[in-house]
Each structure stands twice: as C-alpha cells, then as structure tokens.
C-alpha cells in the first residue's frame, strides 16, 4: 500500500514541477525515498520535527508550490495545532499523508498506533479526509488529492497488500462504492477493513449492502441516507477509535436526517498495545469472524 503511494508520488513529481515533498526522517518507511533520489531539489527531510515540517510546508504552499507531507500518522498528531492554525484555518493547499495508521504498527506498541487521527483531522474546517482501501484506490486517491486545491489528509496503513475494487477508475472523491447489495442491513467500512467486511457478510449469511467509504470528509451523504432508508440498520467498521471517525460521521448524519440504529465497530475508546497485528485485530473484534457474529446478532434482532 505504501509502495503504491510512493510510485504514484514519483510519477506526479515528473508531471508537477512545483510538487515538493517533506518528511520527518522517515523517507524510506513512508516510501518517498525514490522521490528524493529523482528530485533532490524538491525533497526536504526536516528531521524529527513535525511541527517545523508543517510550518515549512505552509510556506511552500504560500509561494505557489504543492507540498506533500509524509510521516507516520501518530507523530503527525504532534503537529495538530500547526495543522489547525497554519494550514486548515487559512485553507492552504498542503497534502498531509499519514502512514502506519491504525493498528498496523502493531509490534511498536501504543505510541506508534494512531487510532485518533481521522477524528482529529475530520473536525478541522476545510480538511478533506481520505482512507483508501486497496492499491489501485491509493494510486487514484493520491492523484485526485494532488489535483484538487485545499488541505487534505490521506491515511495509509503499513504492510497491507490489498486489491478488492474492480474497474479502470475505482476512486471518486466524496463517493462510496457499493460492493454488494442487500436488505437486512448496511455495512460501511474503509481502509483495510473492507475485505474483512466482505468475508464477514459471507460467513454471517446476511443480506447486507456493503458500502466502501474511502472519503470520510466530505461523506457521501446520499449513499448513507439511501442505505438508512432502504435497509434500516447500519454497521460501521473501521481500524480507528469508535469515537469521531467513520462511525461517528455516519451516526451524526443519520441522527439528523434519517434516524436508524448505527452500530460502530472499532477500537472501543482505548489505546493500542504491542503484539502481532492479527492478535490485536482479534482482540478488538475487527477480524471477519467477530464482525460476522455482530451482523448475525443484528439480523436476529439481538442487537449487542
């Protein structure tokens, strides 16, 4: 997934001569190292100083460049105040890319596991927030965010190698992809959770509409409200805290415009911990079998 981002950024660097890349001493793990080799005059490693990196990126934007910030998602949160005051408040054209998000930095423990980043970025006015799910979608989302004007946050994992979307163009900013239709309920997910959701629907033997929702902000309101009206129950699944992320965005929308049950599956108001990723996913109920049990319970009228 990170490789798909790095390859796309390299290609866009050839196309956009005002595209500059900044990182906080993590060029190789964020996969922007190739860009630094091809375009050394447009690559800046500021060291472990995320706040300064954001300020420098703001300056590049004000001088007509397209700055891309690439760093580990949890440590970008160190610079949230600078992102808020220097970038979002004046709607600068800065592209923020957080890698190693969610539980993907599993063995490194809670300090490296970003479970709050979507919530923190979504609350900022003017900020576009995207959580793509497969390699082709990452390529297309990266290109779309570079082409648009304004501050953006792109959330990536670490070592996933996923492809589950079909077609020549799989990503549309602000649009959900309907991967499956059904009448019992709707399941909404993004990132690497969508393949688990598809498996879970099969295991639970439920008739579920599956919406892959890569854009958390702006949310595809039409798709969510149509699902609420057509299927009633909605289940949101994300590799993030259940507070403030995709589930929070969906719950806020339907509470205002079409109240239905919204069940949020994610990390339940807790920090991460060190361990193998599959074990952490199992602990937080984010593997297909656990999701299937939740779906079966809802179908049976036994809402947990």
- The bridge status of strand 208-212 relative to strand 177-180 is antiparallel
In 93-222 the beta strands, taken as DSSP E runs, fall at: 95-99, 128-130, 152-155, 177-180, 185-189, 208-212, 215-217
CA distance 13 to 96: 16
**What letter would DSSP give residue 167?**
S
Cβ neighbours of residue 112 under 8 Å, at least 6 residues apart? Answer: 72, 74, 100, 105
Identify the bridge partners of residue 262 per DSSP, sorted by sequence position: 234
- Tokens 């423990």: give the residue: 109
H or E element, residue 2: helix 2-15
SS (HEC) of 182-201 = CCCEEEEECCCHHHHHHHHH
- Tokens 């109920």: give the residue: 285
50 catalytic residue (yes or no): yes
Burial zone of 157 (CB within 10 Å; 0-12 exposed, 13-18 middle, 19+ buried):
buried
**How many CB atoms sit inside 10 A of residue 81's CB?**
11
H or E element, residue 248: helix 246-257
Which position among 7, 50, 160, 239 bears the catalytic label? 50
Show which residues are catalytic. 50
């Amino acid at each position: 997934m990170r490789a798909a981002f790095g390859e796309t950024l390299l290609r866009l660097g050839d196309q956009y001569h005002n595209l500059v890349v900044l990182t906080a001493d993590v060029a190789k793990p964020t996969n922007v190292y190739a860009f630094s080799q091809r375009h050394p005059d447009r690559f800046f490693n500021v060291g472990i100083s995320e706040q300064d990196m954001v300020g420098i990126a703001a300056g590049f934007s004000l001088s007509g460049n397209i700055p891309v910030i690439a760093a580990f998602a949890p440590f970008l949160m160190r610079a949230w105040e600078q992102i808020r005051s220097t970038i979002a408040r004046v709607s600068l054209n800065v592209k923020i890319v957080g890698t190693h998000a969610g539980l993907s930095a599993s063995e490194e423990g809670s300090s490296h596991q970003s479970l709050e980043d979507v919530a923190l970025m979504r609350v900022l006015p003017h900020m576009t927030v995207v959580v793509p799910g497969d390699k082709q979608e990452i390529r297309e989302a990266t290109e779309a965010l570079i082409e648009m004007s304004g501050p953006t946050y792109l959330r990536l994992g670490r070592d996933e190698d996923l492809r589950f979307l079909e077609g020549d163009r799989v990503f549309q900013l602000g649009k959900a992809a309907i991967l499956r239709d059904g009448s019992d309920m709707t399941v909404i997910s993004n990132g690497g959770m969508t393949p688990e959701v598809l498996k879970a629907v099969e295991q639970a033997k439920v008739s579920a509409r599956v919406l892959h929702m890569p854009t958390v902000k702006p949310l595809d309101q039409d798709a969510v409200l149509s699902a609420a009206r057509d299927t009633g129950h909605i289940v949101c699944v994300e590799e993030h805290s259940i507070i403030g992320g995709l589930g929070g965005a969906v719950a806020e929308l339907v509470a205002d415009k079409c109240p239905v049950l919204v069940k949020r599956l994610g990390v339940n108001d807790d920090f991460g911990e060190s361990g193998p990723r599959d074990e952490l996913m199992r602990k937080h109920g984010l593997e297909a079998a656990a999701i299937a049990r939740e779906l079966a319970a809802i179908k049976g009228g036994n809402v947990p």
